[in-house]
Structure 1
Amino acid sequence: MTLNPLSNPKGVKLLCELCQKPAFVQCTLCRVTYYCGIDHQQADWVGIHEKICQLLIPLRTVQMSFLSSEEHRKKQEQDLLHRRKHMIELTRTTGQKLLFEGKHEQAVPAAMQSLRFSIDVHGLDSIELVPSYLILAEASIGLHKLSQAEEYLAQAQWTVLKTPDCSSAIKSKLERNLGLLYASQGNFDESLRHIADDIYHASEEFGTDDIHTSGGYFHMANVFFRQNRMDIADSLYTRVTDIWHEHLLRIVTSQTKRPDTSAVGGAVVELEEKETESLDEAQEAEAKQVLHSIHDIREQAANQNAAESAAKISHALAMLYFLLHDLPKAKELASKAQASCKPSSSSSNQDHLAEDIADFMQTLQELPLRSKSSILDMAT
């Protein structure tokens, strides 16, 4: 990409997208984004700008005409609001995805964009800004900038405290980030207290066995793991595995089952089905991070419990890669799960798992190596 030095018109101040210092170069693709130098341009491009470059043009070049009708102006305003809300969701999901992938530095531009659009839509004091503060805080923790993380968390905490009707979902995310901060400082007791609050609030909002709650169990397990309290950590890792396995199994089943039909007057009528569940980009990245982490820990363990849970972890990963349209990886992990899972006369759970794995293997065997579009056609 070519960057052209700017010669700003008199009285026009152009600021860097990342640091808000005077800008001297311009993105030549959208021509509405400016930077203090090539380093910040490249950082923004990798973090979020590649995704939103063209989407920024109508947002930053829109002109409300006072000569048009009131109805037309309202339509313009509604369209602008819709675009901004879409950008909040896109940038926030991208930031979360990058965090789960361990790309903390790249997550910062996405979080900053989500914060800007949230301010535009909701104002400076809204609770809707908190998720963006939390992404910035977690990115700062990952970059070992703990004092900066504390500032973001303090802002988020203050906003939550002055919002009596704040949702349990936001309280959960705040407590989780506080737990991560204290864990990074080595204060494990305080970390566990905040993560316990995270699990409580997430359970209130989503239930105890939901993937939104499982993140709290996972981080609590990591704290116990660092304390070498392996029995507790192992039970929590098992809980996380069970939640993700059940969730992925439900999605795969809904996407691979044939539509229900009913004969009416000699004609076959396809019954209406409910919309199937799916994973967004951030949830896909979270599943990969969490399940691979537990999978690696299980492989290093040599006890019987670890051997029994290895099959479920491998099956969960196989289903995840199936949903990610990586059939060779899905088949490899499914074969590994099948080899690890032996039906047991004393364990009905093991028998059910063996049946689920066998059904999944059957689904994979019926599919040739297909392209992404072919698999999507099958799912719909």
Structure 2
Amino acid sequence: MTEIYPLAVPKGRKLKCEVCDAPAERMCAACTVTYYCGIAHQRADWVSIHEKICQLLIPLRTTMPFYNSEEERRHGREQLLQRQKHLIELCYKVAQKYLFEGKHEESVPAALHSLRFRTNVYGLNSVQLVPAYLLLSEASIGLGHVVQAEEYLSQAQWTVLKSTDCNNEIQSLMHRNLGLLYTAKEEYEEARYHLANDVTEIWHTYLDQHVQNQLSARKQPADILAKELENDTGLDEAQEAEAVHILETILEIRENTGKEKPASILFILKTVAILHYLMMNISKAHELAVKAYLLSKELPNKEDVTEALRDLLGLIASKDPVTLKAAKFFAGQGQ
């Protein structure tokens, strides 16, 4: 922990806490440009993000040096902008990682930093602020602070409504967070609306292509087969965690909504099973694929669906001999 000292506030200068915006009484002794209302928030910020960015904040929060020419000044401003953009992404990724790990409290200071730097770079009304609002909303949901989550989501929605430059990714994130909020409030109909079918279909199309590639590769010569059957989602660790989170949330909603048809539940079960298989979570993939296979027996015109699930179970078994016997059993059911 960085050593801290009582803060001597210069006359006429109002300093605010980095975490809550309350009047500051302490400062970080290492960078001397970051202030806190008390030791609790200083510790929270240090654990979350400040340890990683302490020295990076100094050039951003001190007076720019004197430059001899306009070219030097322009270069200095560009460097300052790049530093802020770097911190936007660093703080965002750290906050996101904490959320994926279920560490909601630790994610908040990092998300607040990302929001603050976004505001400095893009302005108060920019759609670029929305991802940070959504992180803060999700962290609030995880902490059980539903009212606070609704406030962040309202800010995000209002920003999106005023923007003419909102891409599909941000819209998808918005709907996902609204789905999480309504799930937390046990309002499953609203949650189902926001976690719409097209989200599952997009993921299924993307993930199933990897499975089809592996099934095709099985027909290749042995020297090619080993390489082709290597599991890879094509996603980084954060994206994989995001996919698991959203798809399992949709699955939970569909399983808890009485109006859902077996076909809809089966579709998401298969999608999540494929994702876990590609991530080499073999036991989880097998569990979900078996559940989907048994559910497929309830469907009319089930042959194509059942065959696809037997193929998936065969791939899963190829990665783990323990599941091989079960896969052979399901293969035999189709004969």
Give the TM interval when normalised to the shorter protein: 0.7 to 0.9
- In the alignment, residue 221 of structure 1 is paired with which amino acid? L
Aligned to 2:323: 340
Is residue 222 from structure 1 mapped to residue 252 from structure 2 by the alignment?
A: yes
Asked if the contact 1:222–1:233 (Cα under 8 Å) also holds between the matched residues in 2, the reply is no
Q: Report the 3-state secondary structure (helix = DSSP H, G, I; strand = E; otherwise coil) of the residue aligned with 1:30.
A: coil
> Which digits, 9 at most, give the CA deviation of each residue in 1:236-257, with x for residues without a partner?
13202314544x58xxxxxxxx
- In the alignment, residue 209 of structure 1 is paired with which amino acid? Y
Q: In structure 2, which of residues 271, 274, 287 is the aligned counterpart of residue 298 of structure 1?
A: 287
CA distance in 2: counterparts of 1:158 and 1:74, whole angstroms: 34
Q: Report the 3-state secondary structure (helix = DSSP H, G, I; strand = E; otherwise coil) of the residue aligned with 1:209.
A: helix
Aligned to 2:71: 71
Aligned to 2:123: 123
Distance 1:314 1:174, change over 3 A: farther
Asked if the contact 1:298–1:310 (Cα under 8 Å) also holds between the matched residues in 2, the reply is no
Asked if the contact 1:23–1:34 (Cα under 8 Å) also holds between the matched residues in 2, the reply is yes
Q: Report the 3-state secondary structure (helix = DSSP H, G, I; strand = E; otherwise coil) of the residue aligned with 1:58.
A: coil
Distance 1:311 1:181, change over 3 A: farther
Aligned-residue sequence identity (percent) comes to 43
Aligned to 1:236: 268
Structure 2 residue runs of 5 or longer lacking an equivalent are 208-239, 296-308
Aligned to 2:82: 82
Asked if the contact 1:171–1:198 (Cα under 8 Å) also holds between the matched residues in 2, the reply is no
After TM superposition, list the pairs within 5 Å mapping 1:215-294 onto structure 2. 215-227=245-257, 231=262, 232-233=264-265, 235-243=267-275, 245-246=277-278, 248=279
Asked if the contact 1:174–1:198 (Cα under 8 Å) also holds between the matched residues in 2, the reply is no
Distance 1:245 1:346, change over 3 A: closer
The alignment's TM-score, normalised by the length of structure 2, stands at 0.72
Aligned to 1:12: 13
CA distance in 1: counterparts of 2:204 and 2:17, whole angstroms: 43
CA distance in 1: counterparts of 2:135 and 2:180, whole angstroms: 12
> Which digits, 9 at most, give the CA deviation of each residue in 1:141-182, with x for residues without a partner?
111111111111111111112223310000000000001111
RMSD: 3.5
Distance apart, 1:310 and its partner CA: 8.1
Aligned to 1:366: none
CA distance in 1: counterparts of 2:196 and 2:82, whole angstroms: 36
Q: Report the 3-state secondary structure (helix = DSSP H, G, I; strand = E; otherwise coil) of the residue aligned with 1:139.
A: helix
Distance apart, 1:118 and its partner CA: 0.3
> Which digits, 9 at most, give the CA deviation of each residue in 1:114-139, with x for residues without a partner?
00000011000000000000001111
CA distance in 2: counterparts of 1:91 and 1:314, whole angstroms: 40
Asked if the contact 2:98–2:106 (Cα under 8 Å) also holds between the matched residues in 1, the reply is yes
Distance 1:33 1:310, change over 3 A: farther
Aligned to 2:195: 195
Asked if the contact 1:92–1:111 (Cα under 8 Å) also holds between the matched residues in 2, the reply is yes
Is residue 53 from structure 1 mapped to residue 54 from structure 2 by the alignment?
A: yes
CA distance in 2: counterparts of 1:314 and 1:122, whole angstroms: 50
Distance apart, 1:339 and its partner CA: 2.2
Q: Report the 3-state secondary structure (helix = DSSP H, G, I; strand = E; otherwise coil) of the residue aligned with 1:55.
A: helix
Structure 1 residue runs of 5 or longer lacking an equivalent are 250-290, 316-333, 348-380
CA distance in 2: counterparts of 1:310 and 1:42, whole angstroms: 48
After TM superposition, list the pairs within 5 Å mapping 1:81-230 onto structure 2. 81-196=81-196, 199=199, 203=202, 208-209=205-206, 215-227=245-257
CA distance in 2: counterparts of 1:142 and 1:47, whole angstroms: 16
> For this pair of structures, how many residues does the alignment match?
280
Of residues 70-79 and 52-61 in structure 1, the stretch that sits farther from structure 2 once superposed is 52-61
